[in-house]
Amino acid sequence: MSEKIIKSADRVKDIGEVFTPKKTVDFMLDQPEIKAKVNSLTATFLEPSAGEGAFLVELLRRKLVYAKKASKSIAEMQNNFLLALSTLYGIELMEDNVEMLVMNMNNVFRDTYFKAFNPKERNNKILKSAQTIISANMAQGDALTKKTSTGADIVFSEWKSIGKDKVQRTEYSFAAIAKGETASGTVRPHYEQLSLLEPSPDQTESKPLEKHYKLVKWEDIYKQITE
Ligand SMILES: C[S@@+](CC[C@H](N)C(=O)[O-])C[C@H]1O[C@@H](n2cnc3c(N)ncnc32)[C@H](O)[C@@H]1O
């Protein structure tokens, strides 16, 4: 089946919407410096014009292959699947593309999860937590103004692995992350280091927004309990 890389001539003209063919995605992700980051459970990627996820979906596939290899037990592999997923961030302007992006990320996570774990090993909480991470990390908005279509700040979560099986989630505005105003200081270096397509700097004035969640096990992320 041939790949659909444009939806309409108007969309190409208005928003530059041309999706990247799989062959090109593979070629780019096979570059040694990208490969090294894919083979890491913590290196983050941000795609500020994510479309339907041509890059992010393939990055997820590859990161999950690595998470499987890097895990020594079933329990560790379940946590590492969520850790790997939590490193992928996207921003997309068009609502219909965001819907597809979220669906594509969920499908790849679920399909890979079902192949990796047998029915006795599967834990529905992992799939629910994966959905929470994907909803949080795939943002609708304008990567240049750093605002959503309602005018609110784009917000991203930092997912910090603590100890063997816990995670600390903290929310920051994308504007604060881009300016390096986050308290932890761990989001910005990753963002600078690894974004595939960095948005150009702008003069957006925005207060840092921080929301702290309770320290929980990776599998309990879906409960979303704030402090
Ligand atoms: C050339 S397409 C690439 C999509 C995807 N990265 C891929 O490789 O298939 C550009 C995408 O950026 C989105 N876009 C355009 N302007 C944007 C902006 N200011 N902020 C966020 N997304 C934007 C478009 O809706 C479109 O989906």
Residue in 93, 105, 144, 145 to alter for ligand 1 test, most ligand atoms within 8 A of Cβ:
93
Q: Lowest mean pLDDT: which of 13-22, 31-40, 120-129, 146-155?
A: 13-22
Give pLDDT, residue 186.
44
pLDDT category at 96 given cuts 50, 70, 90 is very high
Residue 22 lies in domain: 9-144+183-203
Compute the mean pLDDT over every residue in the chain, rounded to the nearest whole number. Answer: 89
Q: Average pLDDT in the 147-153 region?
A: 97
Q: Lowest mean pLDDT: which of 106-115, 151-160, 178-187?
A: 178-187
Q: Average pLDDT in the 48-68 region?
A: 97
Examine residue 168 and state whether it is found in any structural domain, yes or no: no
Examine residue 44 and state whether it is found in any structural domain, yes or no: yes
Q: Average pLDDT in the 87-115 region?
A: 98
pLDDT reading at 104 higher than 50: yes
Tell me, in angstroms, the distance from the centre of ligand 1 to residue 21's CA. 14
Examine residue 88 and state whether it is found in any structural domain, yes or no: yes
Nearest atom, ligand 1, residue 11 CA: 25
Question: Helix, strand, or coil here: 170?
Answer: strand
Q: Average pLDDT in the 42-46 region?
A: 95
pLDDT category at 195 given cuts 50, 70, 90 is very low
Query: Could you tell me which residues are beta bridge partners of residue 159?
Result: 169
Name the burial class of residue 96, with classes exposed (0-12), middle (13-18) and buried (19+) by CB atoms within 10 angstroms of its CB. Answer: exposed
Give pLDDT, residue 17.
83
pLDDT category at 174 given cuts 50, 70, 90 is very high
Examine residue 124 and state whether it is found in any structural domain, yes or no: yes
Examine residue 36 and state whether it is found in any structural domain, yes or no: yes
What's the number of domains the chain is made of? 1
Examine residue 158 and state whether it is found in any structural domain, yes or no: no
Residue nearest to atom 4 of ligand 1 (CA): 51
Q: Average pLDDT in the 128-140 region?
A: 98
Give pLDDT, residue 2.
67
pTM (two decimals): 0.89
Report d(CA 38, CA 32) in Å as an integer.
10
Q: Average pLDDT in the 141-155 region?
A: 97
Residue in 89, 92, 104, 197 to alter for ligand 1 test, most ligand atoms within 8 A of Cβ:
92
Pocket flag, ligand 1, residue 187 (CB < 6 Å): no
From start to end of the chain, where are the E strands? 45-47, 88-92, 138-140, 155-162, 166-173, 211-212, 216-217
Query: Could you tell me which residues are beta bridge partners of residue 173?
Result: 155
Examine residue 4 and state whether it is found in any structural domain, yes or no: no
Examine residue 140 and state whether it is found in any structural domain, yes or no: yes
pLDDT reading at 150 higher than 70: yes
